[in-house]
Chains A and B, each alone.
Chain A
Amino acid sequence: MLVAQDTKKRKASVVQSMMRALVAVCLVSLTACMGGESKVEQGNREGVLHYGNGSEPQGLDPHVVTGVPENKIIRTLFEGLAVKNPYTLEPEPGVAESWDISDDGKKIVFHINPKARWSNGDPVTAHDYVWSWRRALDPNMGNQYAYMLYPLLNAEAYATGTLDDAEQLGVKAADDLTLVVTLNAPTPYFIQLMDHYSTFAVHPDTVSKFGGATDRFTPWTRVGNMVSNGPFVLTEWKLNRYIRLEKNPLYWNADNVKLNAVMFYPTENLTSEERMFRAGQLHYTNEVPLEKIPVYQGIDNSPFVQAPYLGTYYYLLNTQKAPVDDVRVRKALSMAVDRETLVNTVLQNAYVPAYSITPPDTLGYFPPKTFGYDPDRARQLLAEAGYPDGKNWPGLELTYNTSENHRKVAVAIQQMWKDVLNIEVSLANQEWKVYLDSVNQMNFQIARRGWIGDYVDANNFLDLFITEGGNNNTGYTDPVYDEIILREAPNATAREQRYALFRQAETMLMEEMPIIPIYTYTSKHLIHPSVKGMPSNLMDSLNIRYVWLDPTETLKAE
């Protein structure tokens, strides 16, 4: 027995030494990284903003990419002729120190600020704009946002390849600092478009140095190569990690830029982003997870900020397929949706009920409210259409792209239709690209849809439903509607007259109900109290010139 005991003892010592080693390793690795100030604290001290930006940008060439994360970075690197004031969204001077609009509204003269410089020291000239806009519209460029410049004379013909002569485009340089723009028709929102990156100037020599003018595959936007004209310059680009921009000393208004650097993080995962914020790694989150909203609403001095956003969530109705080819059925479906309850319960009050396509207060425009939740009228309309109390109902399929939030909304609305109209509607979820294909091929009965405005004007929502509209997707067509949107409203002289025409068109649209508006989007962020000069606005637009950090403000203990 002596032997056995001896073995036992030796076994025990093996175990003990292994355990000790393990504990030691753990302790060393933990103490190595404890303590120290957070990124946010350090950023406050050094004037560095840590910004959650949603996703890795596709690229940074203003005439190649599309998307919101790209927009935020490009508008920090480059500056348009006019920029949006983040408080009012009205245009204010950017590269152009002023502009004159002719009485008929078809000619605009931009006076370029003589102090405007590229980051290599070259002056920004009117010729740069002529070159850049030709590039943006070049049919070989494959620029998905080329249509932003379509108000320009001959732009559409040039971009679609029916006109070869770039000289005929409505953009000319009268001299180095005077840019003369000719439009097809008066376009009240044209100045606003100057803050959209598709209308930005790029540095012609830099683009040409690294490839052809219309080449998508060039490295001119890389660190060290890029020449830009905005308040910040690109200094680091770590793929899927961060993009670092530093203050541009040559920027004409550099004295008023308060930050020294901005770090953009691709925060794809909402819950991770929220944890980064709590751990002091971010000043600003791109989003807030829906289930976290009640938590943040409940605390004092909450960093949670929610504001209406220029976008509408709606269902498309295919007016060419039974049973939704009948306007009475479409109206019944729309009136049977109790949007208030939907928003209050399923959506945690994170959105605003919508009864029209244009979001309310779009630069002073309020859409008409032509209907509301009306179960009795809905049942009556359905009966008139031949389905009293849901009898003879042929069935209906609602298509949406795979997403937990879309599913929740669809299930709630499916139940409302069942309760109010006594009809069965089946749900079909499709992977994103499959769903896009179905919608574009009009291969659906009802489909989820969202539209985010490119610029703050009702026109951007209402021209979706013109007969040839690429984003119409409902089969809705009305020559009177087309006439108002395409001809009457653009030629209206006063804002009130124009808005009255829009209200008339929108009333006609909702009378035919080719869509079921559900809610207006909101922007939702967690913003550290040290961040100043970053107001909420309808475009969720960031103007980095206004932003500064106040180190004395701290997040209260949770």
Chain B
Amino acid sequence: MWRFIFGRLLQAVPVIFIVITATFFLVRAAPGGPFDAEKAVIPEVKAALERQYRLDLPLHEQYFAYLGDLVQGDLGPSFKYPGRSINELIESGLPVTAELGAYALLIALIIGGLSGILAALRPNTLQDYIPMSMAMIGICMPTFLLGPLLVLFFGIELDWLPVSGWGDIPGDKIMPSITLGAAYAAYVARLSRAGMLEVLSQDYIRTARAKGLPEWQVVIKHGLRGGMLPVVAFLGPAFAGLLAGSFVVETIFQIPGLGRFYVQAAFNRDYTMILGTTVFLSTLIVLFNLLSDIVAAWLNPRLRAQLSE
């Protein structure tokens, strides 16, 4: 098992290195720079700015200087927000995005998992059709539609929940979490239904029922462990996707997360921010994929046996 983890971590290093290098040179190849503005910048001012951000050095020297800083954990100063470092900006946005992602995932697991299991218990009845058609709608409905609809209904018509913010007014975390979680809940529902259906038709489930176990024990103790495997495999990439993809939800609800920095950095040509967020998120994605592989192995005795050989 340890060898498996160590090997995967070792594989991750070149992947991340390639991501850094490709990002570094691609953003520089894009036309326009961080100091281009609608009002022309005086050449002397631009030169002073470029000196302050080391942009006056040859490109390869900038690249090695950046790598040197990165190794020491320094992601550099922000272009867009003078006086702030990328580290500071990521530190301010990450807890919010992570919290939002965690709630969304929790919602996805509870609602998606429950409806998937319910559907699998009575396939091809109403108890199957209703949650599954809702899941289909959930998958098809983009967040930029669901978010405003929820806001319109619960925020403005009923006036139950605040329409924006994060941690400012009680209850303002509910709608963003549901909006972000809905699409994932739908996926989880379909995956858990498929997983459970397969497991529930297996011999050992029939054995469990035959020996007279109560149904809830059969489902939860024997069924879930195998039936949830597809969901677990989906979770790692899903969480990383939530972190990177929360941009839309963060914009709709004015949430001070990482997603807004990530997307706006590209428009602003905020070189250090583009690099910082890309490096950070790609590292997270690699880690979460690894984590979900480990959990899958832990849940699946056959895989576990293979790995410990």
Contacts and interface: CB of A to CB of B under 8 A. Distances in A.
Interface of A: 7, 10-11, 14-15, 18, 22, 29-30, 32-34, 39, 56, 58-59, 61, 64-66, 139-144, 146-147, 159-161, 216-219, 221, 238-242, 265-269, 271-272, 275-276, 278-279, 281, 431-434, 436-438, 440, 450, 470-471
A147 B37 CA distance: 15
Q: Which 8 A-B pairs have the closest CB atoms?
A: A33-B171, A433-B32, A240-B256, A470-B40, A10-B215, A142-B48, A142-B49, A437-B31
B195 to A, nearest CB: 18
Contact of A11 (B82, B122, B251, B254): B122
Given A66-B39, A275-B155, 10 more contacts: A10-B215, A11-B215, A32-B171, A239-B89, A239-B92, A242-B168, A272-B254, A433-B267, A434-B30, A436-B32
Contacts, number: 176
B92 to A, nearest CB: 5
B44 A144 contact: no
Contact of A436 (B36, B45, B260): B36
B118 A15 contact: yes
B162 A281 contact: yes
A268 B84 CA distance: 20
A64 B82 contact: yes
B41 interface: yes
A143 B39 CA distance: 13
Given A142-B49, A281-B165, A433-B30, A217 B83 contact: yes
Contact of B163 (A10, A15, A61, A276): A276
Contacts of A32: 170-171
A266 B92 contact: no
B57 to A, nearest CB: 16
B163 A275 contact: yes
B209 to A, nearest CB: 7
B198 interface: no
B161 interface: yes
B163 A272 contact: yes
Contacts of B42: 144, 146-147, 159-160, 470
Interface string B257-299: 1001000000111000000000000000000000000000000
Interface string B150-176: 011001100111111110111100100
B31 A10 contact: no
A276 B162 CA distance: 8
Interface of B: 30-33, 35-42, 44-46, 48-49, 51-52, 77, 80-84, 89, 92-93, 110-111, 114, 118, 121-122, 127, 148, 151-152, 155-156, 159-166, 168-171, 174, 209, 214-216, 219, 251-257, 260, 267-269
Given A59-B83, A272-B251, A434-B32, A241 B165 contact: yes
Given A276-B254, A279-B159, A434 B31 contact: yes
Contacts of B39: 66, 144, 470-471
A417 to B, nearest CB: 25
Contacts of B156: 275, 278-279
Nearest to B172: A33
17 contacts: A29-B174, A33-B162, A33-B171, A34-B159, A39-B169, A59-B81, A59-B82, A144-B41, A144-B45, A217-B82, A266-B254, A268-B254, A275-B148, A275-B156, A281-B165, A281-B169, A437-B31
Contact of A240 (B48, B114, B260): B260
Contacts of A39: 169
A15 B216 CA distance: 10
Contact of A161 (B44, B49, B114, B215): B44
Contacts of B80: 58
Nearest to A216: B82
Given A269-B254, A275-B155, A433-B32, A10 B83 contact: no
A30 B154 CA distance: 10
Contact of A216 (B37, B52, B268): B52
Nearest to A435: B32
Question: Which of B36, B82, B121, B269 lies at the interface centre, i.e. has the most chain A CB atoms within 10 A of its CB?
Answer: B82
A14 B219 contact: yes
B169 to A, nearest CB: 7
A216 B267 CA distance: 22
Contacts of A30: 160-161
Contact of A241 (B155, B166, B209): B166
